[in-house]
Amino acid sequence: MAASALLGEKVRPAQWAGLGLGFAGVVLVVAGKVAGAVPAGALSGMLVPAIVALLGITAGTLYQKRFCPSFDLRTGTVIQYLPTLVATAALAAATESMAVQWTGEFVFALGWLVLVLSLGAVSLLNLLIRRGGAVHVASLFYLTPPMTALVAWILFGETLTGWALAGMAVAAAGVWLARR
């Protein structure tokens, strides 16, 4: 919604429809899991951090696209991660024993989080922001829940309901429409 006002990007009706479809697809994918796994009162407590995170990544994407679209990825990554490291280390030192049990599973999970999600995904996001419109970048976020459900099905044997499969198709159609 802010891409037009802040970046001067024209959002076409088809893109709005694609964003709406993508959102509907995400709702279909996650509704079954949320309904079956989360007590009714806990849902609102879970939504607040998710909404804050969504608003934060949206604001960051718009800010970056507007004011620093072509920064050096290595320097930008260090600048983004250093304050987070300090805050996380301080919180961990205050609440944890700081003892680490180095197991194979832990090393794999840590490597995945650092290399694939932190460095890989954030670098890819920065490149997408640099090269594409805000709507194109934002629409890709609708693929995260369907892909997570698919990976959970493959790796952990999680159940994929008919609603989730339909949601995957709807989300993919929405992203296709928004990026056309």
User: Where is average pLDDT lowest: 16-25, 101-110, 118-127?
Assistant: 118-127
Give the model confidence (pLDDT) of 150-166 as tens digits: 999 998 998 888 999 99
The whole-angstrom separation of Cα 178 and Cα 22 is: 9
Residue 157 is given by DSSP the state -
Tokens for 70, please give them. Answer: 């072509």
- Tracing tokens 């037009």 back to the chain, one arrives at 4
- Mean of pLDDT values over 68-75: 85
Is 130 in contact with 1 (CB distance < 8 Å)?
Answer: no
**169 band by pLDDT with thresholds 50, 70 and 90:** very high
What was the pLDDT predicted at 37?
66
Pull the structure tokens for residue 47.
Answer: 């939504």
